[in-house]
Amino acid sequence: MLVFTFITEALTAFALFATAACFLIRPHAALTALRHFPSAMSARVLFAILALIPGFALGLSIFIPFLAFFAAVFSGSTAVTLGLYAVIRGSRNVWPLVTGIALASLLIAGLQPLGLKIMLLPKADDLPYEPVQAHVVKTYDEGVWFESVRVGSDGTLYLAANIGLDFSRTDYFHKAHGQVIARRPDGSERILFTTPTGSAAGAFAVAPDGTLYMPSNGVTPGIWRIDQDGRGEMFVHLPQGAWPNGLDFGPDGNLYSPDSALGLVWRINPITGHAEPALKHPSLSARPFIALAPGGNGLHFSGRTMIVTVSDSARILRFEMNKAGVFSGPVELARGIPGDDFAIGQDGSLFVTTHPYNTLVRVAPDGRRSIVADARQQIIGATDAVFGITDADRSTLYVVTDGGAFTGGPKTRGQLVALSPYATR
Domains and CATH numbers, the chain: 2-119 (no CATH), 133-420 (2.120.10.30)
pLDDT for residue 276: 97
The stretch 271-283 carries a mean pLDDT of 96
pLDDT for residue 200: 87
**pLDDT classification of 346: cutoffs 50, 70, 90:** very high
* CA within 13 Å, CB half, 146: 32
Q: CA-CA distances (angstroms) from residue 19 to 28, 45, 49, 106, 345? A: 14, 12, 10, 18, 63
Q: pLDDT tens for residues 195-244?
A: 998 888 999 999 999 999 999 988 889 999 999 999 999 999 999 999 99
pLDDT for residue 25: 83
pLDDT for residue 167: 64
pLDDT for residue 20: 87
Residue 31 above 70 pLDDT?
Answer: no
**pLDDT classification of 62: cutoffs 50, 70, 90:** confident
pLDDT for residue 90: 74
* Phi, then psi, of 330 in degrees rounded to 5: -95, 160
Distance of alpha carbon 373 from the chain centroid: 21
pLDDT for residue 235: 95
Residue 122 above 60 pLDDT?
Answer: yes
C-beta separation of 247 from 203 below 8 A: yes
Q: pLDDT tens for residues 235-270?
A: 999 999 999 999 999 999 999 999 999 999 999 999
Residue 425 above 60 pLDDT?
Answer: no
Supply the mean pLDDT for the chain.
Answer: 91
Residue 343 above 60 pLDDT?
Answer: yes
Q: pLDDT tens for residues 152-204?
A: 999 999 999 988 877 666 666 667 889 999 999 999 999 999 999 888 899 99
pLDDT for residue 258: 97
- Which secondary-structure segment (H or E) carries 190? strand 189-194
Q: CA-CA distances (angstroms) from residue 50 to 16, 35, 222, 244, 314? A: 9, 18, 49, 46, 40
Residue 23 above 90 pLDDT?
Answer: no
d(CA 245, CA 255): 12
d(CA 193, CA 90): 69
DSSP alpha helix (H) spans, 182-301:
none
Residue 93 above 70 pLDDT?
Answer: yes
- Which secondary-structure segment (H or E) carries 96? helix 95-111
SS3 state of residue 3: helix
pLDDT for residue 92: 73
User: DSSP assignment, residue 286?
Assistant: P
Q: Can you give the pTM of this predicted structure? A: 0.87
pLDDT for residue 146: 94
**pLDDT classification of 29: cutoffs 50, 70, 90:** low
Which residue from 323, 307, 325 is spatially nearest to 315, judged by alpha carbons?
Answer: 307
The stretch 378-387 carries a mean pLDDT of 96
C-beta separation of 150 from 416 below 8 A: no
